[in-house]
Amino acid sequence: MNDPNAIPVYLLTGYLGAGKTTLLNHLLQDPTLAERRVVVVVNEFGERGVDAALLNAGEREVFELNRGSLFCVCIKTDLLKTMEQVAALEPEMVLIEATGVASPGDLATILRASDQQVPAWEIAGSICVVDSLNLTRVLPFLRASREQVELSDVLLLNKTDLLDEEGLTTLRELLTGLNPQAPQLEASHGKIAWIDLEKAIEKRRKIGDAGGLAEMLPILHPPLEVIAISLEPQHADLEKTYAALDKLGKSLLRAKGHLPTEEGTVYLESVLGTHFHRHEKRDNPVFTVIVWRAKREEVLDILSSGILY
C-alpha cells in the first residue's frame, strides 16, 4: 500500500451465482482474519437484500447497499454515506461484495470523493470469483461478466469439480487471454485460505500497475436490459415455482431467496436455468429474481403462478 495510514479495501466480484457469498462466509471464518477488525459491505442488484442474511458474520458489522450495482452512479451517494459509517468503526480492512451485474469502475475515485474527515481508502486487491461452469455462457452477452475478469487482480475458479480436464484447460486459456497477469486459483465450494488470496494479490501487484481497479477507469452503468424484482412471498408452491422459473427461459439470469411453503420455509437458488433448494428457517422471507430482456409485468405474471406475494 502506498499510504501506510490508508484502510485497505478488498473487492469481491463475479457473475451472478458464481459463489461470492459462499467465499465471503469462508473468509469471515478464516483464522488469519479472526482477530482483525473486518467490516463487510454487501451490494445487491435488487430492492431487498438476500445475501447479507446468509452471512455468518458473527460480531462483525455488515452494511447493505441495494437498489443498484456498485460503481454505478445511481448509488454513488449511498456508497459514500456507507463508507463514512464504516470509517467510524475504525476497521483494519473492508471486504466489499459487489453485485453480480456490476461493471467495475473507478472505485478509488469514488472513495477519494468522501468527506475530508473520512480516512483514506486504498484498493488493496480485487478478487473475481469465476463460475467455471457458466462463465462462457454469459461472456458473449453481458459486458459486466467480461469486465469483472479483465479488471481483477486474482481469478478464483469456483465449481471446477463440474468440469472435465479438457474443459478446465479451455477455461484457463480463455481467462489468460482476458487477463494474462492475474494469478488463477481454484476453490472447492468457495473454500480457500485468506493467506493464499493475499499472496496471489501481492504476486499480481509486483508485476505492475497496469489494469486492475487501482487504475483510473470510467464509472459504468449496469446493462439497461437487466432488471431485478424483489418479492416478499406469503406462500409458494415449490413445484409451480420451478415451472414458473423454467417458463422464464433464457431471460432468467438468477433467482434466490426464501419461500414459505406447506413443507416449511425453503431457500431456493437458480443459476442460468439450474434450480435447487434446501429447507431453512428464516423470518421475513425475501425472494429476488434477476432477468434480462424481459418486461417486469410479464415476469411478475409468470411468477404469480407459483408464488403468492
Nearest to 47 by CA among 223, 300, 288, 224: 288
Q: Look at the chain and report how many structural domains it folds into.
A: 2
Residue 84 within any structural domain of the chain: yes
Q: What are the grid coordinates assigned to 261, written together?
A: 411453503
Residue 304 within any structural domain of the chain: yes
pLDDT digits (tens, 9 = 90+) for 10-39: 989 898 888 888 899 889 889 998 888 999
Q: What are the grid coordinates assigned to 27, written together?
A: 473468509
Residues 134 and 89 in one domain: yes
One-letter amino acid of 166: E
Residues 168 and 24 in one domain: yes
Residue 40 near residue 61 (C-beta atoms within 8 A): yes
Residues 195 and 64 in one domain: yes
pLDDT digits (tens, 9 = 90+) for 138-174: 887 777 788 889 888 999 999 888 888 998 999 999 9
State the pLDDT at residue 215. Answer: 44
Identify any residues that bridge with 278 across adjacent strands, giving them in sequence order: 267
Residues 191 and 257 in one domain: no
Chain-centroid distance, C-alpha 190:
13
Q: What is the CATH number of the domain that holds 300?
A: 3.30.1220.10
Tell me the C-alpha distance between 251 and 262, whole Å: 28
Query: Which of 207, 239, 259 is at the close of a domain?
Result: 207
Residue 272 within any structural domain of the chain: yes
Residue 49 within any structural domain of the chain: yes
Residue 128 within any structural domain of the chain: yes
State the pLDDT at residue 299. Answer: 93
Residues 135 and 202 in one domain: yes
Q: What is the CATH number of the domain that holds 18?
A: 3.40.50.300
Residue 212 within any structural domain of the chain: no
Residues 15 and 143 in one domain: yes
Q: What percent of the chain has pLDDT over 90?
A: 29
State the pLDDT at residue 201. Answer: 93
User: Over 50: is that where the pLDDT of 207 sits?
Assistant: yes
State the pLDDT at residue 298. Answer: 93
State the pLDDT at residue 49. Answer: 46
Using DSSP bridges, classify how beta strands 264-271 and 307-308 pair: parallel, antiparallel or unpaired: unpaired
Residues 232 and 180 in one domain: no
Query: Which of 138, 172, 207 is at the close of a domain?
Result: 207
**Mean residue pLDDT across the chain:** 80
Residues 140 and 14 in one domain: yes
Using DSSP bridges, classify how beta strands 226-231 and 287-292 pair: parallel, antiparallel or unpaired: antiparallel
User: Over 70: is that where the pLDDT of 119 sits?
Assistant: no
Residues 17 and 159 in one domain: yes
Residues 58 and 197 in one domain: yes
Provide the 3-class DSSP secondary structure of residue 67.
coil
Tell me the C-alpha distance between 214 and 228, whole Å: 29
Nearest to 19 by CA among 119, 161, 177: 161
CA dihedral of 251, 156, 109, 25, whole degrees rounded to 10? 80
pLDDT digits (tens, 9 = 90+) for 235-294: 999 999 999 999 998 888 889 899 999 989 999 988 877 888 888 887 788 898 888 878
Q: What are the grid coordinates assigned to 250, written together?
A: 433464457
CB-based contacts of 217, cutoff 8 Å, min separation 6: 104, 105, 106, 151
State the pLDDT at residue 42. Answer: 85
Polymer length in residues for the chain: 309
User: Over 90: is that where the pLDDT of 186 sits?
Assistant: yes
In 10 A of CB 262, how many CB atoms?
Answer: 8
Residue 189 within any structural domain of the chain: yes
**Longest CA span, the chain:** 56
Provide the whole-model pTM: 0.72
Residues 121 and 248 in one domain: no
Q: Nearest 5°: phi and psi at 239?
A: -65, -45
Query: Which of 178, 207, 236 is at the close of a domain?
Result: 207
| Residue with more model confidence, 212 or 124 | 124
Using DSSP bridges, classify how beta strands 38-43 and 121-131 pair: parallel, antiparallel or unpaired: unpaired
For the four alpha carbons of 197, 198, 199 and 201, in that order, the dihedral sign comes to: positive
Residue 218 within any structural domain of the chain: no
Provide the 3-class DSSP secondary structure of residue 69.
coil
List the domain range (segments joined by +) for residue 166.
7-207
Tell me the C-alpha distance between 122 and 83, whole Å: 12
First to last CA, the chain: 48
Residues 111 and 146 in one domain: yes
